[in-house]
Structure 1
Amino acid sequence: TRDDIPNYEKRPKPLQYQHPLSPEESLKYTQVPVGWKLQLFAAEPQIVNPIGLAWDERGRLWAAETVDYPNEIKAERKGADKIKILEDTNGDGRCDKVTVFADGLNIPTSLTFGNGGIYVHHAAETLFLKDTNGDDKADVRELVLKGWGTGDTHAGPSNLRYGLDNQIWGTVGYSGFSNNGQRFGMGVYRFTKSGSSLEFLHQFNNNTWGMGFNPAGDVFGSTANNNPSFFGGIPATILPGGKGLSAKMIASSPTFHPITPNIRQVDVFGGYTAAAGHAFANSNNFPESWRGKRSFVAGPTGNLLGMFDTSRDGAGYKSKNAFQLVASADEWFSPVAAEVGPDGNLWISDWYNFIIQHNPTPNAGRGGYNARNGKGNAHINPNRDRQHGRIYRLVWDEAPKSKTKSLAGASTNELVAALSDPNQFWRFTAQRLLVDGKKIEALPKLRALVANRGVGSIHALWSLDGLGALDSETHRGALLSTDPALRRNAIRALPHTRAGVALMFQSGVINDSDLTTRLAAFVALAKFPSSDPVKNAVSALGNNEVNQKDVWLSAALAASRERHQAADLADLEYEESKKNLLENVNWKVSIHSGNGAQHLLPVNEGFKGGKCLKIESAKPTDTSWGGVVEVKPNTRYRLQGKIKTEGIKGGGMGALFNVHELQSPTRVATKALKGKNGWTEVSVDFNSMGRSKITINALYGGWGQSTGTAWWDEIRLSELVAVPKAVSEVKLKPGDAARGKALFNTHPVAACSRCHAIAGTGGVIGPALDTIAGRKGPDYIRRSLLEPNSEIAEGYPLKVSPMPPMNLLLEPQEIEDILAYLQALK
C-alpha cells in the first residue's frame, strides 16, 4: 500500500500498488475476442511511453516517445524525448531494429508524413523534420507553426494526419492555439504543408485526443469527459464568428466495461473520461461488417480499447457503443492510440503506466491526500513511470494473409494502382507520394480512375486536385457520379469561384438524395462568392421540409444565409413579375403510357371562349401537352392556370399541371381534378433549383391512367420576386429558467451537466453550481459562461478552464435561458 495513490472514488480501502508486469505476463491478463490474437511488436527498452504512431512508405513504424510528459517543460524546447523508427527486419513479427530519427524534443504528441519528411507537434511548436542523406537521421528542422498552449500538457495538440485534401489535420485540447490574433481550442484544425494557412474547423466541448476519417473523408473525433464519439459536420469557418453547430456528440452511450474493478478515475466513473483516438476499421483485415463503420476509441483509465459503430442519421451520423475489443486486468495497461497499420491490422500504443490521469490535483477531500501540480499542470506523483511502454498488433484469424509492403521507389503506375488498395493507409500514402512527387505523368490514369465507382476514385480526385490538374470535365463527371461518397468529395474540391458555382448548380447536388452529400453542398454554398443565384438557392432551399427538420442541413443553410445576407423564407413575401414565360411556348404531345387519347387545340372552348389545350380519351391513358421554357437557376416561380374536367376517372391523379424535371424529393405539381369541374384556378410555387430549362406539363392521368375530358387555359409561369417583410429588430426575450434547466441537462453539444453537478446530480469536472446565485452576482455568472478563463472558481485546481466559451455553442436566447436557471439557484 502506498499513500500517494489517488482515491477519487472514495473506496473504503484504497487500492494497493500493482508492480509492473513483463509483456508476456501482461498478455496473460489481457482479453481479446475469440478468433483474434494480440501480438507484441515492441517493448521497453526499445520504446518507452509511446504516445503517437505513424508509418512511412516503406511500411516502417515511427513512434513519438516522451519521458518529459507531463511536467518537464523546457523553456528552450530542448528535451529528452525522441522520434524512433522501429523495424522488423527478419519477418518474425517483432521489432529488432530501433533508430533514433530525432531527439532533443520536448513532449512530442503526434507525427505524420508529408513533403518528404515528418510533421511533429511539440507544443508550443509544430516542426518539420527531414532526412536528406538517407541515414534515417533528421538533418532538417524547420518551424512550421508556433502558438500551441503549454499551460496544460495534456490539453495540447495531437492526432496529426494527412487529409484527403492534401493538408495536415489535427486536434487540440483546451490549452489551445494563440498567435497573430488567431485563437481556438478544443477541436479539429487543418493547415497547409507550408504552415501558411491554419483553419479551425470543428468545435468540440472538451479536451480532444481523437480524430479519424471514414472512407468518404467524413470527420469524427473523441474527447474527454464522457464524449467518446463526435461527428464534425460543418466547418466553423463558415459559421458567423465561428460560432454554432460544427460538431455534435453522437455516441449512444459513454459507458465502458472494464474487466477489473481496480481502475482509477477522477471524475467520470465507469465511462470514457479520457477517450483517445477514433480510427476506423479501414482495411479488409477486419470482418466485412466492420469495414469503414467501426471505430476504435481508447479508454486508458479503464485499461481497455473500445469500439463504436457509426451509421447514418439524416445528414449526420450516430455511433453505437459496441463495447470492448481489448481489455486487461493488468492495471498498467493503458492504450492511448490505435491505428490501422500497413499490414491492415490494428496497432495499439500502450503507454503502460500505473498513473495515467493528468488532473485534477488530489487533496485531502478529493483523492485522499494533498498533492501539488508541476509545470505541465499535472499533479506530481512519484508513481508516474518513465521506463515502460509497449506496442501491440491485433490480428484477426480470418484476415487475408497480408505482408507489409513498400511504396518507396514505386512507379507512377504502381502508385495509381495503390489508390484503390483495400487498406486506407496505402491509399493515403500513394496519394501523398503522387502529390509530393509532382507526378504529372499520372494525370491520364488518375482521370480514368475518377470515372470509376469506388474508394480509389476519391483519392484519384484529390490527387488531381493536389497536382493542380482537376479539370472541369473530370470534376463534372465526379459530381454526377452514382457514388455519393465521390460526389461529396467532388463538392468539397470545388473552387470557391463562379466556375465552382456553375459546376455545382449544373450537377443538382444541392438537392442530392444522399443527405450527407447534400450537407457538403450546403457548406459549399457558404464558401462561394455572393451572387443572386447563390442567394436565391440559399433562400429557396430553406423551404424544403427535410432541410428544415435536419439539424445539420438547417444549420448549414442558416450559416449560408448569414454569409450571403440571403433572406430567410420566413421573413419574405413574394410578388409575381408581370411577364408570363409561357406566352409563346411550343406545346408538344407526350404519351407516357396507354393509347387512344386525342390531343386537341380548340379555338373556341377556352375560359373566355378562345383557344386552349384539350385532351380526351375513352381508354385509360397517361399523357400530356408539354412545353419547354427557359428559367433562371435557383429561382422561385409560380405556375398557375385554369382547368375544366368532364367525367375524369381512373387510377391516375386526373388533370393537373406539373414540372416534369422536379419530382424529387417533392413533386412540383398543382392540385389535381377528377370528375366534373367547371373552370378551376390552381397554382404551385417552386424553385427551379439548378435548372436553366424546365418542362411544364398540362398533365392528363398523372402517375396512373385516366379517362374522360380535360381542358387547360390561362396558363401562366411567372418569376416570384422576394420582398422582405417589414419586421422590427429581433430582441431577446427574458430568460426562461425552465428552458434553461432543460438546456443545461440535455443540450447535445454544450452538455453542461456532464461537467457540473447540481443537487448531487451531474459531473465533477467543474465546480458544483448549487447556490451559485447566492454566492455570485449576475455579471460574474454571465462572464463565466462567455469567458470561462476570466472567472476561475476559487479552489479550482486547474489554471485553465476546460470549458469553451458558451457563445460558441449556444444561441443568444439559449444563453439567456441558462442564465435565468443559474440565477435561480440560491
Structure 2
Amino acid sequence: MLTTITRFGLFLVILLATGISTRGQNPLSVSPPEKNNSPQAELASFSIDSRLQINLFADESMGIANPICFRWDPRGRLWVLCTWAYPQLKPGTKPDDKLIILEDTDGDGKADKISTFADGLNMPTGFALGHGGAYIGNGRDLIHVKDTNGNGKADQKEILFTGFGTGDTHQNINSFAWTPGGELLFCQGLHCFSRVETPWGIRRLDEHGSWRLRPLRRQLHSYRRTSGGGNPWGFAFGDWGEPFIKSNGGEVSELLPSMVHTDHIAGGYWGGAMQIGATKIKSMAINIVDSPHLPKDLQGDFLIAGYFARNIARLRPSTDGAGHKLTTLAPLLTSSHNAFRPVDLNIGPDGALYVADWFNPIIGHYQASLRHPNRDKDHGRIWRISAKGNPLLKPPSLAKMKVLELCEQLGAPLRRTRKLAKLRLMDLPKLEVITAIRKWINGLKPDDPRLEHKLFEAIGVFESHEVVNLSLLKRLLAAKDHRARAYATRVIGRWHHLLEDPLALLENSATDKHSRVRLEAIVSASDIREADSIIIAAQATDGPKDRFIDFAFTQAVHALATHWKPALMAGNLQFNQSSHLLRVVSTIGGNEVAEVIRQKLASEKLKPEEITKLIALLAGIGNSADAGLALKIGIDKPEVLLALTDSARVRSLKAPADAVRLISPALGSQDNTIRIEAIRLSGLWALNEHSATITSIATDRPENLPLRLAAIKALGSMSDPAIIKTLEKLTALETPPTIRAGAIGSLATRDVKRAASLTASLLTKVEAKEIEPLLSALLQRTRGTDELVATLATETISADTAKLMLRWLNSTGRNEPKLTELLNKIIGLKVTTQKYNPDYVAELAKEALNEGDAVNGKKIFQLPIISCTACHAVDGIEGTVTTLKGPNLTALAAGLPVDIIIESVLWPDRQIKEGYQATTVLTKDGRVLNGFAHSEDKTVLRIRDLTTGKIATLQIDNIKQRTKGVTVMPPQLTANLTRTELRDLIKYLSTLETVKKPKS
C-alpha cells in the first residue's frame, strides 16, 4: 500500500517494464502469480506456532474477493467488506463493491451461508456496524446504510458527510472503530485533504490523521499526524479504553496524546513522536488478544496484520510512564505464498483468531500499473487460527437478550463480549437502556473485585446515548484503580458542555499521583475551549513527566492559545504558580506575552530561581530593550545568555544600546559556559569593540578548546581587518585540526576565496581524517564550492585525496556536479552519465537476476568509494550508519521490484522514498544547509543538516533560496563500477528481504 505515482512518464515506464519486474524475483510488493493459487496450496505455505492450527473459514468459492476488513456482529455473523474495483475503476464500468455477511450455521469453523447486505459501493475502505446498520467509508462520503424491512439487505442509504479527501485509494477514510464510549474513530492518509461540512461548521484535515465522530450529535473532530507513518490504518483499545493506532508502515503509536485538536504539528512532519513500537516492515491493523481459547502467553499481546511481510506479527506491551512500549516477538504465522496478504484480524465468537486475506501478488501502487493484469480480482479468503487441544468458547446469545441481560454482560470476562453487548445497547431506545443500566449499577455489590471495571463499562453506555451521569462520573474519578480515574477524566472532556463546572472536576485529575491520569487531564482540558483550561493543563505537568505528557501539553498549549493568550494579556488569567506560566509561555513563545513577563518581573516578589527563569524566557521572546534587561539581571546566568544567543541567531534579535558594556563582565567570567555564550553573543551582535579580547582568546593555546572555537567563529562576524590575518595564522599545520577547520569556516564568512585557497593547500598536507572537517567548514558557505573548484583547477592534489573528498561528498548527500566532475578527472575516471532507458533497465534486471553474484554484490555495497553504508543501514552489516540519511535497506526487495531498485541506484532522482526528500537552503547570511525538513511553522524551519547531523533552526525571513524534494543520493555514484560489479550489486540488493519465521 504505497502512494500512487504522480509522474505520467514513470507510469508508462512501469507499464513497459512490468514483465521484467515480476520475473526471477519475489518481492513482497510486486510478484508474479503463483502457479497454484488454491486454498490448499496457500494452506501448505503457512508456518505457524506449533500450538496452533489454521483452517479456511471462507474463500472466493462463496463469492468474496479482496476483503478489506471485517467485523463481527452480536449474532455471531462475520461482515466482510469486499472490493472488485480497487485500486482504480475502469472507465465505463459501474462500481459494485459489496458488504457481505458470512455465517457458520453448524459451528464447524467454516462459513456455510453468505448474503449481501449492501452493494453498489465504490472502493469502500472501512466500515463499522451500529445504529441499526453500517457506517461505510465510500470514497469522499461517509454513508450509513440500514435494512428497514427486515429482508437482510440494506434499503436505506444516508450520506452523513461528504468532502473527505481521496488523494489515493488506500488513503481514503478507513479503519472504523468504536471507542468504549460510542465515538466512531476512523483515519485518512497522507495525500488526503478533507473539507467536510457538518452542523458544527466546516471540519478540515490536511494529510494524514484521524477523525472522531459523535454520531448522535453529528459532531466531527479531526486530529493531525496521529500515527507514526503517513497512512494510519487501524485502532485498538485496551481493557480500560487505552487507545492505540497503527500506521500502514511499521509503527504502532500511543493515540491519546495526539487527540488534541490543533493545526500545530509536534514531533516532526511524520508525527512519529508517540511511536511505542513497530514491525520490521509495513503492516496494518491491531488486535489485542483476549481469548482463553488461545495460549495463555498470547493474552494481551498485539497481533498485527503483516500484509507486506506476509505474516501475523506479534508485539508485547508494557507500561512506560504515562504510556506504553512494545517488545517485538517472533511472528505468530508466516507464509511463503506470494498472494497471502493479511489486512485485518479479529477474535471470533468461538475464541479463535480470524484473519482477512486480501490475496494478491501485487499491492504496490507505484511499483506496478494500477491496472496490471496480475492484480488479483477474483480471490479472497478468511482464515481461522485455533489452539490445538483447547476447547472453543461458547458465546452468549447477545442478539436474543433483553436490555437488562445485555447490561449484565458488561461484567463478562471477555472484552469482545462486553464490546458487542455495548454495540447492541447503543442501538436500543435510550430510555429503555438508561433505565436498565441504572438498575444494573444499583445492583452491583460493593465488594465485587471487578466493580470499578464494571462502572467503567457502564459509563460508556451513558456516553453512547449522550446522557450525563454525574454521580457515576464522580464515583469513577475517586476510584482506587488509576485506570478508572484516567478514563473518567477523559469523559469530563466529552461531557464538558453539559457539566456545570468541568474544570473543577478536572482539578484532582491534574494533580493525580499517576501520570496516566494527568495525561488524560491535559487532553481533556484541551477539549474545553476556555482560557482557564490551560491552568489545568499546566498543573498536570507538575508531577513526573515523560514524552507522552510533554507532547500532549505542547499540543494543548497551541490548541488553547486563542483563549488563554487574550486572557493573559488582559490580566484575566492567574496561574497557580509562576512556574506554570513559564511552562506555558516557553512552550509557545510570542512577543505578545513579553509584556506580561515584564509586568511580573516588576510587580511581584519572586524567588531568585523564578527571576532567572522569567528573564531567560523574556530573553527568548522579547525585544532589544528586553535583551538589555536580561544582560543587567542575568549576565552571570548561563541559561539567560543561552536564550539571548538563540534569539540573536534564530530571531535576529538586535543588540541593546549598551550591549558592549553590559556583556564585558561575562567575557572575563571564571565560568567557561558563561564566557562561551558571551563570546557567541558578541559575534552574533558584531560587537567589534570586543574583537581584541576575543582574538586573544582565539589565539591563546592554553585556553579551553570549546572556548577558542567559539571565539574563532565570533571573529568571522567582526569587521577588524586584522582578523583575517589572525584567522589565516590559525589554519597553520601546527594548530589542532578542529581549530584549523574552525578558522577556515570563519574566514569563509569574510573572504571565501582566501578560505578556499588555504583549504586546497591544506588538503595535500593534512591526515585523511582531517579532510572532512575542512570541507564541511568551507562548503557550508555561499560560493564555497565554486571557489574551491576554481582553486583546484590550478592547485595539485593527489588522486587519493580526491577519492577521500569524493567519498565525503557522497556520504553527506551533497550534490556538487562541478566539484565531482573535477575530482573524477583528478582520480583519472571518465564518468559518463547513463541516460534513462527502459530497455537498459530490462536488460540489466534480467542479467542481475539470472547471473548476478549476491555475495560479491554485498562486498561492492560496502566499498568506500560508493559510500552506500555511509547513508543506508542493513541489518547484519557492521559499520553501517546509525543516523540514517537514506532508507534502511534491510527489507528493500520486500517492497521494490528489481527494475525500481535499478532506477533508485542509477537515477536516484526518479525514485525518492517518502520522507527522504531533501531540502537545500541558502540563507541571507551566506550559509548553505542540506538535509531533511524536520518541522516548520509560519516563522521557523527546522532542518536536520546532513553535514553536521544536527537540527538547525532557521528563521523563514532569513532564507534566501530553498529547493525542496531533491534526492540526497548523488548521481553517477555507481558510474565507475564495471558491468559485472553493477550486476552483482543489483543482485545483492534484490535479495534484501527479511521475514522471520514463528517459533515452533
TM-score class, shorter-chain normalisation, is 0.5 to 0.7
User: 2:18 is matched by which residue type in structure 1?
Assistant: D
Q: Distance in 1 between matches of 2:384 and 2:334?
A: 14
Contact 1:244 1:808 in 2 (8 A): no
Distance 1:174 1:134, change over 3 A: same
User: 1:211 is matched by which residue type in structure 2?
Assistant: F
The equivalent of 1:523 in structure 2 is: 523
Alignment equivalent of 1:56, drawn from 73, 76, 99: 73
Three-state SS of the structure 1 residue aligned to 2:169 is: coil
Measure how far apart 1:213 and its partner are: 1.5
Contact 2:931 2:943 in 1 (8 A): no
Contact 2:361 2:374 in 1 (8 A): yes
Task: Note if 1:228 corresponds to 2:251.
Answer: yes
The equivalent of 1:300 in structure 2 is: 307
The equivalent of 1:286 in structure 2 is: 294
Distance 1:728 1:530, change over 3 A: same
Measure how far apart 1:467 and its partner are: 3.2
Contact 1:453 1:482 in 2 (8 A): no
Contact 1:732 1:813 in 2 (8 A): no
Alignment of 1:486-505 (within 5 A): 486-494=484-492, 495-496=495-496, 499-505=501-507
Distance 1:759 1:334, change over 3 A: closer
Alignment equivalent of 2:366, drawn from 351, 360, 368: 360
Three-state SS of the structure 1 residue aligned to 2:257 is: coil
Alignment equivalent of 1:329, drawn from 336, 344, 365: 336
Contact 1:412 1:441 in 2 (8 A): no
Three-state SS of the structure 1 residue aligned to 2:375 is: coil
Alignment equivalent of 2:235, drawn from 177, 201, 211: 211
- Deviation string 1:484-528 (CA, Å, 9 cap, x unpaired) is 2221111111132552222222xx222333322221012123333
Q: Distance in 2 between matches of 1:388 and 1:809?
A: 49
CA RMSD between the two structures: 4.7
The equivalent of 2:210 in structure 1 is: 188
User: 1:317 is matched by which residue type in structure 2?
Assistant: H
- Deviation string 1:29-65 (CA, Å, 9 cap, x unpaired) is 2121112111211111211111110122211111011
- Deviation string 1:301-333 (CA, Å, 9 cap, x unpaired) is 222111111211111211111121111122221
Measure how far apart 1:755 and its partner are: 8.6
The equivalent of 1:511 in structure 2 is: 511
Contact 1:156 1:174 in 2 (8 A): no
Three-state SS of the structure 2 residue aligned to 1:491 is: helix
The equivalent of 2:913 in structure 1 is: 766
Task: Note if 1:442 corresponds to 2:436.
Answer: yes
Further displaced range: 755-764 or 114-123: 755-764
The equivalent of 1:695 in structure 2 is: none
Task: Note if 1:463 corresponds to 2:486.
Answer: no
Contact 1:199 1:237 in 2 (8 A): no
Measure how far apart 1:237 and its partner are: 3.3
The equivalent of 1:635 in structure 2 is: 576
The equivalent of 1:708 in structure 2 is: none
Aligned identity (percent) is 24
The equivalent of 2:168 in structure 1 is: 152
Q: Distance in 2 between matches of 1:469 and 1:767?
A: 45
Paired residues, what number?
617
Three-state SS of the structure 2 residue aligned to 1:302 is: coil
Contact 2:352 2:392 in 1 (8 A): no
Q: Distance in 2 between matches of 1:414 and 1:493?
A: 25
Contact 2:317 2:326 in 1 (8 A): yes
Task: Note if 1:420 corresponds to 2:417.
Answer: no
Q: TM-score with structure 1 length normalisation?
A: 0.65
Three-state SS of the structure 2 residue aligned to 1:523 is: helix
Q: Distance in 2 between matches of 1:241 and 1:394?
A: 43
* Larger strand percent: 1
Distance 1:777 1:103, change over 3 A: farther
Contact 1:38 1:392 in 2 (8 A): yes
Distance 1:384 1:192, change over 3 A: same
Q: Distance in 2 between matches of 1:45 and 1:177?
A: 38
Further displaced range: 115-124 or 433-442: 433-442
Contact 2:175 2:234 in 1 (8 A): yes
Measure how far apart 1:784 and its partner are: 12
Distance 1:21 1:558, change over 3 A: closer
Q: Distance in 1 between matches of 2:212 and 2:475?
A: 28
Measure how far apart 1:443 and its partner are: 3.2
- Deviation string 1:563-586 (CA, Å, 9 cap, x unpaired) is 556999xxx9xxxxxxxxxxxxxx
The equivalent of 1:592 in structure 2 is: none
Three-state SS of the structure 2 residue aligned to 1:171 is: strand
The equivalent of 1:606 in structure 2 is: none
Distance 1:770 1:50, change over 3 A: closer
The equivalent of 1:557 in structure 2 is: 553
Unaligned runs of 5+ in 1: 256-271, 363-372, 573-631, 639-719, 787-804
* Larger helix percent: 2
Distance 1:160 1:73, change over 3 A: farther
User: 1:521 is matched by which residue type in structure 2?
Assistant: A
Distance 1:251 1:234, change over 3 A: closer
Alignment equivalent of 1:384, drawn from 375, 380, 392: 375
Alignment equivalent of 2:222, drawn from 193, 196, 200: 200
- Deviation string 1:239-295 (CA, Å, 9 cap, x unpaired) is 46465687645355532xxxxxxxxxxxxxxxx23x11012113333344433x311
Contact 1:295 1:308 in 2 (8 A): yes
Contact 1:561 1:567 in 2 (8 A): no
Three-state SS of the structure 2 residue aligned to 1:476 is: helix
Q: Distance in 1 between matches of 2:404 and 2:59?
A: 38
Q: Distance in 1 between matches of 2:537 and 2:935?
A: 27
User: 1:65 is matched by which residue type in structure 2?
Assistant: C
Three-state SS of the structure 2 residue aligned to 1:493 is: helix
Distance 1:467 1:11, change over 3 A: closer
Three-state SS of the structure 2 residue aligned to 1:487 is: helix
Alignment equivalent of 1:114, drawn from 130, 137, 144: 130
Q: Distance in 2 between matches of 1:145 and 1:755?
A: 40
Q: Distance in 1 between matches of 2:460 and 2:217?
A: 20
Measure how far apart 1:138 and its partner are: 0.4
Three-state SS of the structure 2 residue aligned to 1:518 is: helix
The equivalent of 2:402 in structure 1 is: 411
Further displaced range: 720-729 or 149-158: 720-729
Unaligned runs of 5+ in 2: 1-15, 197-201, 580-609, 623-646, 652-712, 714-775, 781-811, 814-870, 874-882, 893-903, 946-950, 955-961, 971-1000
Contact 2:224 2:265 in 1 (8 A): no
- Deviation string 1:184-207 (CA, Å, 9 cap, x unpaired) is 332322112258322223513312
Task: Note if 1:31 corresponds to 2:178.
Answer: no
Distance 1:775 1:286, change over 3 A: farther
Three-state SS of the structure 2 residue aligned to 1:45 is: helix
Measure how far apart 1:422 and its partner are: 2.8
Measure how far apart 1:115 and its partner are: 0.8
Q: Distance in 1 between matches of 2:180 and 2:556?
A: 24
Q: Distance in 2 between matches of 1:809 and 1:24?
A: 58
Alignment equivalent of 2:275, drawn from 250, 254, 263: 250
Alignment of 1:129-148 (within 5 A): 129-148=145-164
